[in-house]
Structure 1
Amino acid sequence: MTLELAVRIAEIVLGVAIFQQSIEFVRGIQPEKTLGFIRALFAILLTAGIQPLLVETALVVTSIILIRRFRGPYNGGSDTMTMLVLGCLWLSHLAPSRYWQEIAVGYLAIQLILSYFQSGWVKVVNAQWRSGEALQQVFAVSAYPVSHQVRLLARRPALLLYMSWAVIIFELVFPLALLHQTLLIIALVVAGLFHLANAWLFGLNRFFWIWPAAYPIIIWFQSRLMVALQ
């Protein structure tokens, strides 16, 4: 995958992610309501590939306004990842040379890898995650809009123990997927299904779109890394 194609696909998915985030504000109050409309419009333009530098500049500015408004990311990790993907793609268009363009998107790829590995590390050093108790609490007392049937999974500690370790091991070994492109594609499919499951089970819809927005970049990064190591 070429760098240009990776950036274009990433911008398409990012546009979808930002549009989804923006319409959440449409039924809110001012000034978030107006910002939501503005960001939704720019998200459509970004997906269409119209003037990406100008559009991303506008999205960066409105993102900063929202961060100041809420004194931090409005929705935690998903908004942080949105700003990271948006910022790196924006810098890739501002880059004065191919070298700095690759630095900008390469940084995004590295941060994506670390987001999974660090999440696994935090879990493996936590005794509650190693025992499955943390996941049991998520299903039992989570504030997320979890159905009654899903909450019943909290009564199956053995299953949750296996699920906990499956998540931990996958996140910890994720960086090894860079060793081969096929392995990376498989890892990204698994990761995407993981985010889809979180959206379905817990209503974490924002996470489903924004992490995959960086997947084309890491696919490019892996191929670029292999060329550099030859």
Structure 2
Amino acid sequence: MSLELAIRWTEILLSIALIQQSLEHFFGLRDERLHYFARLVLSVLLLAGIQPQWVCVALFINMLFILGRFQGPYNGGSDLLSMLLITCLCAVHLMPNAQWREYVIAYLALQVVFSYFKSGWSKVVHADWRKGQALRDVFAFSVYPVSERTRAWADYPRLLCVMSWAVILLELFFPLALLSREALFAGLALAMAFHAANFILFGFNRFVWVWAAAYPSLIWLQARLDLLG
């Protein structure tokens, strides 16, 4: 994947993620609706490829207003990744040459890889995650409006222990996906299956598109590393 194609696919997938986020706020308070209506319009422009450099700058400014409105990234990981993507796209369009644009996209990709590893490390050091108890608590006591069938998974501790270790190992070993094209696509498929499962089971709908938006940078970086090797 070329650098230009990676940037364009990042813009397209991020636009979809931001449009989804914006639509969720249409019935919020007045100032909240104003910020997200602006984000919706800018996201549509970015999706269409209209003046992406200035649209990304405007999205960055819009992001600062939203951070002020909610006193930080109120929706956790999906907001943090959205912020990283917006900031990197803004930066990549302001870079003076292709080499600096490569640095920005490589930084984005490495941040994504590190975020997976860090998440796995934060789990493996806790006995509750290693034993499957943490995941069991998620199913049994989740504050999210999940079905009784989903909550019933808490009655299968051995299965949840296996699932816990599957998640931990995926996240800890995700950096190895950069070793080859085949390993990367396998890693991305497993990671996306994990995010999709969270959406199906718990309704974490924001994670799917925003994480997908980060994947073109990984595909580009792995191909770049192959060329350097």
Counterpart residue number, 1:168:
168
Matched, 1:63 2:83: no
Alpha-carbon distance between aligned partners in 2 of 1:197 and 1:50, rounded to the nearest angstrom = 34
Q: Distance in 2 between the 1:191 and 1:110 partners?
A: 16
Whichever residue aligns with residue 71 of structure 1, its letter is Q
**Number of aligned residue pairs:** 229
1:227 is matched with 227
How far apart are the structure 2 equivalents of 1:227 and 1:69? Answer: 44
Q: Can you list the C-alpha shifts for 1:88-108, whole angstroms capped at 9, x where unaligned?
A: 111111001111101111100
Distance 1:59 1:153 in 2: 41
Q: Which amino acid aligns with 1:173?
A: F
Aligned to 2:214: 214
1:79-228 aligned at under 5 Å gives the runs: 79-228=79-228
Shift of 1:74: 2.4
Which residue of structure 1 aligns with residue 17 of structure 2?
17
**TM-score scaled to structure 2, two decimals?**
0.98
- Is the contact between residue 120 and residue 167 of structure 1 (CA under 8 Å) also seen in structure 2? yes
Partner of 1:29: 29
SS at 1:26 equivalent = coil
8 Å CA contact 1:66, 1:74 repeated in 2: no
User: Hey, what's the Cα distance between the residues in 2 that align with 1:227 and 1:88?
Assistant: 23
Q: Identity, % of aligned pairs? A: 51
Structure 2 residue identity aligned to 1:61: I
Unaligned runs of 5+ in 1: none
Shift, 1:226, TM fit: 1.8
User: How far apart are the structure 2 equivalents of 1:145 and 1:222?
Assistant: 39
Rounded to whole Å, the distance in 2 between the matches of 1:170 and 1:53 is: 35
**Residue equivalent to 2:5:** 5
Q: Cα RMSD (Å) of the superposition?
A: 0.8
Aligned counterparts of 2:47 and 2:195: Cα–Cα separation in 1: 21
Unaligned ranges ≥5, structure 2: none
